[in-house]
Amino acid sequence: MANYSPDYFIHAANILLLVAYSVRDILWLRLFAVAASVMSIPYFLLQPTTLWAPLGWTVGFAGINLLQSWRLFMERQPVKLTEEEEEVRSRLFQDLPSRKFLQLVSIGSWVTAQPGERMIESGRAPDAVSLIVSGKVRVTRDGQVVGVLGAGQLVGSALILTGLQTDVAAVVENPVRAIRWRIGTLQPYLNANPDTRTAMQRHLARDLTMKVEHLTGGSVMQRTGNAMSGRARLASLLLVLAGGLAWHYRRRASIASERPCRA
């Protein structure tokens, strides 16, 4: 034992650090960093005079990496969705991981609306958007029905994009089950979560396209003389919004693909 050197511990610790910096998975990086910190502790203790300062810092770094490793591990565990939540995710947000979808749902609220209840008031800017899970909502303008929204469609989608008051009303036709998000809560969350924002934009584009097809019956430019009908005006607005959103989504995807890949 007289020839034994504590230097072996620091060499082993640095080899573990080298491995840590070589892996791409952040969880494994932190776990190897913890192992490196633990391996270096004997080196500081076996010196003629214990190196308390580096020992303290090493223990601190090990503790932080261990805590973050635990958080990462827990985040990667499968989450349990209710039957209703799983149905919505599988039908509308297939590309969104279950945990992300659960976060999206958690910032909103499940609502049940009865026939006759108004989800959008004419002449007012909506403060929430609702995703219909079941049931139907009738959309009217000047007392005339311009469309019926069903499962998978959004109530208030086009109006949220404009931020203006609306001249249409959305009235529940038969019992509706929906997820409702307040705009003041949804927008900051989407800004902070690009993946979820992309999934929501993709669904919003599909939703607007479906509404345009329903309103126009395949043709937006239906005119009587020089006057365009109210339904065609609304369809035109939706078409412009859908096109703009689709362009925005494609542009973001193009920019992302042009960014250099980091090792």
Q: What tens digit of pLDDT does each residue of 1-19 get?
A: 456 788 999 999 999 999 9
pLDDT at 232: 47
Specify the number of domains making up the chain: 2
Question: Does 166 lie in the same domain as 249?
Answer: yes
Q: What is the pLDDT of residues 233-245, one digit of tens each?
A: 454 455 445 545 5
Question: Does 152 lie in the same domain as 99?
Answer: yes
Q: Do residues 98 and 78 touch, judged by C-beta distance below 8 A?
A: yes
Question: Does 229 lie in the same domain as 150?
Answer: yes
Question: What average pLDDT is seen over the chain?
Answer: 79
pLDDT at 76: 83
Average pLDDT over residues 70-97: 84
* Neighbouring residues of 174: CB distance < 8 A, sequence distance ≥ 6: 115, 135, 136
Question: Does 227 lie in the same domain as 118?
Answer: yes
Task: Show which of 19, 53, 75 is a domain's final residue.
Answer: 75
pLDDT at 220: 39
Average pLDDT over residues 47-72: 94
| Residue 20: pLDDT over 90 | yes
Q: Do residues 58 and 33 touch, judged by C-beta distance below 8 A?
A: no
| Residue 31: pLDDT over 90 | yes
Question: Does 214 lie in the same domain as 122?
Answer: yes
| Residue 25: pLDDT over 80 | yes
Q: Whole-angstrom Cα distance, residue 248 to residue 199?
A: 13
Question: Does 192 lie in the same domain as 68?
Answer: no
Average pLDDT over residues 86-101: 84
Question: Does 54 lie in the same domain as 171?
Answer: no
Higher pLDDT, 87 or 67: 67
Question: Does 147 lie in the same domain as 106?
Answer: yes
| Residue 88: pLDDT over 70 | yes
Q: What is the pLDDT of residues 142-175, one digit of tens each?
A: 878 888 888 888 887 765 566 556 678 888 988 9
| Residue 83: pLDDT over 80 | yes
Q: Do residues 164 and 120 touch, judged by C-beta distance below 8 A?
A: no
pTM, entire model: 0.58
- Structure-token pair, residue 213: 């097809």
- Structure-token pair, residue 202: 């993709």
pLDDT at 215: 60
pLDDT at 149: 87
Question: Does 170 lie in the same domain as 92?
Answer: yes
1-5, 79-83, 257-261: which is most confident: 79-83
Query: What's phi and psi for 146, nearest 5 deg?
Result: -110, -10
CATH number at residue 176: 2.60.120.10
Query: What's phi and psi for 175, nearest 5 deg?
Result: -45, 130
Residue 2, domain member (yes or no): no
Residue 31, domain member (yes or no): yes
Q: What is the pLDDT of residues 180-234, one digit of tens each?
A: 998 888 888 888 888 888 888 888 877 777 766 666 654 433 433 443 445 444 5
Residue 1, domain member (yes or no): no
- Structure-token pair, residue 6: 């504590």
Residue 207 belongs to domain spanning? 83-258
Average pLDDT over residues 26-34: 95
Residue 263, domain member (yes or no): no
